[in-house]
A and B are shown apart, each in its own frame.
Chain A
Amino acid sequence: MAGFVNFEITWRADVFSGAPQAGSAANFGTVGINFRARKVENDEEWMAALAAISCEMPVA
């Protein structure tokens, strides 16, 4: 388990257009991105992060 929190994509842009052999990138909508995250300080922080993203599905 990687154990990263505070994941954030901060930037995205077309970085392939105009390249000499630009080809398949455009077909899949490929863009360049910058993202950051932080390794948790300890197991307690990791368990809290997991609990925050878990949810319960209501049964009809």
Chain B
Amino acid sequence: MIDQTVTHEVLAEPNLDWNQLRQAIQAEYQTVAENPNHGFHFHTGRPLTHILGYDETWLEGIPETSIESFAGTGNPFSLGALKPGDRVVDVGSGAGLDSLIAGKMVGPNGRVVGVDMTPAMLSKARRAGQEAGLDNVEFREGFGETLPVLDAWADVVISNGVLNLMPDKAAALADMARVLKPGGRLHIADILVEKPVPDGAKQNIDLWTG
């Protein structure tokens, strides 16, 4: 049997002040929402969609205000098709780009719930959804480790560049499993660190956010 305690210790950062980390991340992504051309340690906006292989047709009809604050690290739509009628949860939906793309893909009989903890991003995403006329997309405030979504609701969970920002990754993955139907799919874009990270660096909040 897998030792759950050991697994959890590997995936969580017990010596980190999680509230302080969340506040730092919220501050960083509030800036991405309000001043997307500020210049960050990551690429943003439409140029980033090109780097990550987003199809131009996916962006059609989506407000530029949503696209400009996109800050993903990969392409969850490359991992498998979203089908008409699918229910999708977007964990860490930011300014809403991936949720709105998903909303177009699943169509009027599908549903998308985007979840984010940063109020400035939620406001921007909600406005973009209304402007795009995508009534099947809803944005909810919440944390990735405690998603405001019913058990076994989703066919697919997507996320883009967010799991690495969560201090308790085991809890985040467990909650993604909770909201998925049996056999449901996880389509995640994130980052991989290929060199060992010293313990001191893991507890440096500046390195988590930049």
Could you tell me which A residues sit within 8 Å of B by CB distance?
Answer: 1-4, 9-12, 15-16, 18-25, 27-42, 50, 53-54
Contacts and interface: CB of A to CB of B under 8 A. Distances in A.
Contact of A31 (B39, B76, B78, B191): B191
A18 B40 CA distance: 10
A30 B189 contact: no
Contacts of B4: 1
A56 to B, nearest CB: 13
A24 B164 CA distance: 14
Interface residues of B, number: 44
Interface in B52-89: 52, 73-76, 78-80
Contacts, number: 123
Interface stretch (B13-21, B95-103, B142-150, B168-176): B168-176
Contacts of A27: 195
Given A2-B177, A15-B52, A39-B184, A28 B189 contact: no
A32 B186 contact: no
A10 B177 CA distance: 20
Report which residue of A2, A16, A50 has the largest number of chain B beta carbons within 10 angstroms of its beta carbon.
Answer: A2
B69 to A, nearest CB: 15
Contacts of A9: 192
Contacts of A24: 41, 207, 210
A7 to B, nearest CB: 9
Contacts of A31: 191-192, 194
Contact of A3 (B41, B161, B177): B177
B173 A2 contact: yes
Given A1-B174, A16-B42, A25-B42, 15 more contacts: A1-B4, A2-B176, A3-B177, A11-B74, A15-B52, A18-B43, A21-B210, A28-B193, A28-B197, A32-B74, A35-B186, A36-B185, A38-B183, A39-B181, A39-B184
A34 B195 contact: no
A36 to B, nearest CB: 4
Given A34-B74, A42-B182, A2 B174 contact: yes
Nearest to A22: B41
B177 A30 contact: no
A31 B195 CA distance: 11
Contact of B173 (A4, A11, A53): A4
B193 A30 contact: yes
